[in-house]
Amino acid sequence: MALVMVSPVAFAGPEEDRQAFTAFFKSRFPEIPFEEFANGIYAIDQDAREQWQEIETFPPYEFTIDEGRELWAQEFPDGKTYADCFADSETGVRQFYPRFDPDSGEVQTVATAINQCRENHGAERLKFGGDEIVALSAYMSFVSRGQPIFINVPVDEPSARAAYEEGKRFYFTKRGQLNLSCADCHVVSVGQHIRSDRLSASLGHPTHFPVYRSKTGGMVTLHQRFSGCVRDVGAKPFDLQSREFRNLEYFLTYMSNGLDINGPGARK
Partner 1 sequence: MANQIKISAKLKGSVADVKSLMLHPMETGARKDPDTGELVPAHHITQLIFTNNGKQVMVANFSTAVSKNPFFGFSFEGAKAGDTLKVSWVDNKGETAELETQLA
Partner 2 sequence: MAPKNLTFIMLAWLLTSPLPAHAVETGGPNCSPSAKQTQQTQGRAQTPEEQYKRSYNEAECLRRAAAAKGAEWLETEKLLLRSIEEAGNGRWENALALAEKGRFQAEQALHQAEYEAEAWKGRVLK
Partner 3 sequence: MQKTKRLFLKGSMALLALASLPRALLAAVWPKESFDSTSASGALKALLGTDVTTPSEQIKMKVPEIAENGAVVPVSITTNLENVESISIVVPKNPRPLAASFEIPTGTLPKVSCRIKMGETSDVMAVVKTGSGIFSASREVKVTIGGCGG
User: Known catalytic residues?
Assistant: 229
Peptide bond just before 264 cis, omega within 30 deg: yes
Q: Is 58 in the site for partner 1 (CB under 8 A)?
A: yes
Nearer to partner 3, 153 or 259 (CB): 259
Q: What is the spatial distance between Cα 226 and Cα 245, in angstroms, rounded to a whole number?
A: 7
Q: Determine if 162 is a binding residue for partner 1 (CB under 8 A).
A: no
Cα–Cα distances in angstroms (integers) from residue 42 to residues 35, 38, 200, 268, in the given order: 12, 9, 8, 11
Q: Which is nearer to partner 3, 32 or 85 (CB)?
A: 32
| Contact flag: residue 221 with partner 3 (CB under 8 A) | no
Which of 32, 55, 162, 235 is in the footprint of partner 1 by CB under 8 A?
55
Q: Please, what is the minimum distance in Å from the beta carbon of residue 94 to partner 3?
A: 22
User: Contacts with partner 1 in 203-262 (CB under 8 A)?
Assistant: 214, 217
What is the pattern of x (binds partner 1, CB under 8 A) and - over residues 65-104? -xx-------------------------------------
Contact partners, residue 42, CB within 8 Å, separation at least 6: 48, 49, 52, 53
Q: How far apart are CA 66 and CA 210, in angstroms?
A: 14
Residue 241, contacted partner among partner 2, partner 1, partner 3, none, CB below 5-8 A by kind = none
Nearest Cα to Cα of residue 252 among 3, 6, 37, 57: 37
Where do the DSSP E strands lie in 102-170?
106-108
What is the number of residues in the chain?
268
Residue 78 interacts with partner 3 (CB under 8 A)? Answer: no
Q: Return the amino acid letter for 31.
A: E
Contact code string over 229-248 relative to partner 3, x by CB under 8 A = x--x----------------
Residue 119 burial (CB count, 10 A): 12
Q: Is 193 in the site for partner 3 (CB under 8 A)?
A: yes
Residue 202 is classified by DSSP as S
The answer to whether the beta carbons of residues 47 and 59 sit under 8 Å apart is no
Helix (H) or strand (E) holding 247: helix 243-255
**Least distance in angstroms from the C-beta of 125 to partner 3:** 29
Residue count at the site for partner 1 (CB under 8 A)? Answer: 11
Please report whether residue 50 would count as binding partner 1 according to CB under 8 A: no
Q: Which does 67 bind (CB under 5 to 8 A by kind): partner 1, partner 2, partner 3, none?
A: partner 1
* CB atoms near residue 6 (< 10 Å): 9
Given candidates 48, 85, 162, 235, which one binds partner 3 under the rule CB under 8 A? Answer: 48
Q: Which residues bind partner 3 (CB under 8 A)?
A: 40-41, 47-48, 50-52, 54-55, 193-200, 213-215, 217, 228-229, 232, 267-268
Residues that bind partner 1 (CB under 8 A): 55, 57-60, 62-63, 66-67, 214, 217
